Amino acid sequence: MAKLNFLPGLAGTLLALLGLVATAQAEQIRDIAEFAGVRPNSLVGYGLVVGLDGSGDQTTQSPFTEQSLSNMLSQLGLTLPANANMQMRNIAAVMVTADLPAFARPGQQIDVVVSSFGNARSLRGGTLLMTPLKGADGDIYAMAQGNLLVGGAGGSANGSSVTVNQLAGGRIPRGAVVEREVQLRLGGNDGSLNLYLNDADFATAQRVVYAINTDFRRTVASALNGGTIALQGPISPNERVNFIARVEAISVLPADSRPKVIIDSRTGSVVLNSQVKLGRAAVAHGNLSVIIDTTNQVSQPGAFSQGQTASTANSSISVQEQGGALHLVEGSANLMDVVKGLNALGATPSDLMVILQALKAAGALHADLEII
């Protein structure tokens, strides 16, 4: 069972992801693999959000918003004068995206994500007008419309402003209606099916093949590679659905995942899975600080000199380096001991990322290092 521990010293920065506990647990095939052809399709569209409280696009900087509004009004039978001065503060041009799930049928409702396309400050309180959503082939598969839900908040007064989260985007739950289904071919005409593992692994593929053949008491599965398993199912659509449901319900004990450390360079977050091992190493950690001190001075002219008061800023820059002694980090194959050893260094998030990369280069960190 997955478990997250927030440890002192790196709380909010070092997320120790404990994957498998002491005894591994079996999982159903539906949780570790999916059948070929069962996939969502991405949809995208361009639309307008109205009803904003003066936080929409600025006309001079977003001319496409004015053009879009003119085109929409003309379709509704309203023709504007050529030199009409359109105030766009309550309107924003947006991009609308959605995922069309597999087996979706006309009339089904799906969620959509709305993101500002221009320079609107906020989409809070806005309503998305009818927007066609197109697929990669250019055909319309859904129509989106509805009131936006924006998760952020903000305010401004006397030139000061504060913003929490992102106000230039929002969601509309069940905000699009499917107008056209995507033709899905599930397997071949001879009953052949392909099963794709979410994480390719030869050991897991071997265990899945063995579990399926054992359950059916005959050879119906064979591994093509570490990520693809070929199945021989029935030809009848109804029997094929029953066959797929039976396969997905089979329990398999997956192989242990590879040791991996993931570093998010934007947020400073570090994630370690339970397979990470640390060799014995010595680490020297120090801090470098750049201090800029600015002093404002005012020069006042003498009486009756007809001079002007002048203000000057004098800045001084200094660099301070804190010495760091060598710290011994004991090697361990236990994730908790690895985290305690890294916490003992007292490193900041940015320093921790550098230390992990250095340990990897020195061969003391036994894990794949991925930076996102």
Q: Other CB atoms closer than 10 Å to residue 92's CB: what's the count?
A: 29
Edge to edge, the sheet with strand 270-272 lists 3-6, 14-18, 270-272, 260-263, 368-371
Q: pLDDT at residue 309 above 60?
A: yes
- Rounded to whole angstroms, the Cα distance separating 204 from 208 reads 6
Strand stretches in 71-126, DSSP E = 91-100, 109-116
Predicted confidence (pLDDT) per residue in 75-110, tens digit: 777 777 766 666 678 888 899 999 999 889 999 999
Q: pLDDT at residue 356 above 80?
A: no
Predicted confidence (pLDDT) per residue in 169-210, tens digit: 899 999 999 999 888 877 788 889 999 998 888 999 999 999
Where does the pLDDT of residue 8 fall: very low under 50, low under 70, confident under 90, or very high at 90 and above?
A: very low
Sign of CA pseudo-dihedral 188, 191, 194, 195: positive
Q: Check residue 174 and give its pLDDT.
A: 93
- Rounded to whole angstroms, the Cα distance separating 191 from 172 reads 39
Domains of the chain: 1-24+256-299+314-372 (no CATH), 25-38+185-252 (3.30.1360), 41-153+166-178 (no CATH)
Q: pLDDT at residue 9 above 70?
A: no
Where does the pLDDT of residue 3 fall: very low under 50, low under 70, confident under 90, or very high at 90 and above?
A: very low
Q: In the chain, pLDDT over 90 holds for what percent of residues?
A: 32
Task: Judge contact between 66 and 104, C-beta under 8 A.
Answer: no
Residue 159 three-state SS: coil
Strands 251-252 and 27-28: antiparallel
- For range 135-152, the mean pLDDT: 91
Q: pLDDT at residue 7 above 60?
A: no
DSSP string, 165-202: S-SSEEEEEEEEEE-SPPP---S-TTSEEEEEESS--H
- Rounded to whole angstroms, the Cα distance separating 88 from 13 reads 42
- Rounded to whole angstroms, the Cα distance separating 129 from 52 reads 13
In sequence order, the β-bridge partners of residue 219 are: none
HSE toward the beta carbon, residue 247, CA cutoff 13 A: 27
Q: pLDDT at residue 56 above 60?
A: yes
Contacts of 46 (CB under 8 A, 6+ apart): 68, 93, 94, 95, 96, 117, 131
Q: In the chain, pLDDT over 70 holds for what percent of residues?
A: 68
- For range 303-310, the mean pLDDT: 69
Q: pLDDT at residue 21 above 50?
A: no
Predicted confidence (pLDDT) per residue in 232-290, tens digit: 999 988 999 999 999 999 999 888 777 777 777 666 677 777 777 777 777 666 655 55
Of 109-123, 182-196, 320-334, 339-353, the range with the lowest mean pLDDT is 320-334
As separate numbers, helices (DSSP H) first and strands (DSSP E) second, the chain gives: 6, 25
pTM of the model: 0.62
Q: What angle do CA 302, 307, 310 make, to 5 degrees?
A: 95
Q: Check residue 344 and give its pLDDT.
A: 67
Task: Judge contact between 296 and 312, C-beta under 8 A.
Answer: yes
- Rounded to whole angstroms, the Cα distance separating 108 from 88 reads 33
- For range 111-121, the mean pLDDT: 89
Q: Check residue 331 and give its pLDDT.
A: 66
Average pLDDT, the chain: 77
Amino acid at 246: R
